[in-house]
Amino acid sequence: MTQRRFETATEEETVALGRELAALLPAKAAVLLIGDLGAGKTTLTKGIAEGLGAAASEEVSSPTFTLIHEYGEDRHVYHIDLYRLETAAEVATLGLDEIFDREAVVLVEWGERFPQLMPENRIEIRLRALEDERREIVVDGLDCAAMASR
């Protein structure tokens, strides 16, 4: 699988890209969302959760303080934010191994801070804010060939 780069110009386009990516995700997937604060990680998650039928985009919010949000009944999505955690020992208390073992799409913000706790077989999505509200989104580990070129 090759790396694929996308660019979005608005929040709506980022959500729409998330919906498109959702269609390509396997039933069980670990996805690291990598980017600075404000890069669009939660916005992309809104589209992924909506695309999987787990939640409407307006129901999705950042789990910065609760650490884990769970969405969906038929197709489960876990949205995890490790930003506030300092050590691997703190992260270990969340039970991530059990979550990664479930038939679910697990979206992890700030997971790159704890690579030893993340599955080796994972998808990485790097987000970067550009000028004028635009975002660069680079997807690695997911076959995006079926997507229309942007």
The C-alpha atoms of residue 103 and residue 80 are separated, in whole angstroms, by 16
Mean residue pLDDT of the chain comes to 93
The mean per-residue pLDDT over the stretch 57-65 comes to 88
pTM above 0.75, yes or no: yes
Domain ranges of the chain: 4-140
Query: Is the pLDDT reported for residue 98 higher than 60?
Result: yes
The mean per-residue pLDDT over the stretch 93-111 comes to 95
Q: Quick check: helix, strand or coil at residue 12? A: helix
To which CATH superfamily is domain 4-140 assigned?
Answer: P-loop containing nucleotide triphosphate hydrolases (3.40.50.300)
Q: Tens digits of per-residue pLDDT, 39-49?
A: 999 999 999 99
Taking residue 112's Cβ as centre, other Cβ atoms within 10 Å add up to 15
Res. 83 pLDDT band, cuts 50 70 90: very high
Res. 14 pLDDT band, cuts 50 70 90: very high
Query: Is the pLDDT reported for residue 133 higher than 90?
Result: no
Answer whether 80's CB lies under 8 Å from 112's CB.
no
The C-alpha atoms of residue 8 and residue 14 are separated, in whole angstroms, by 6
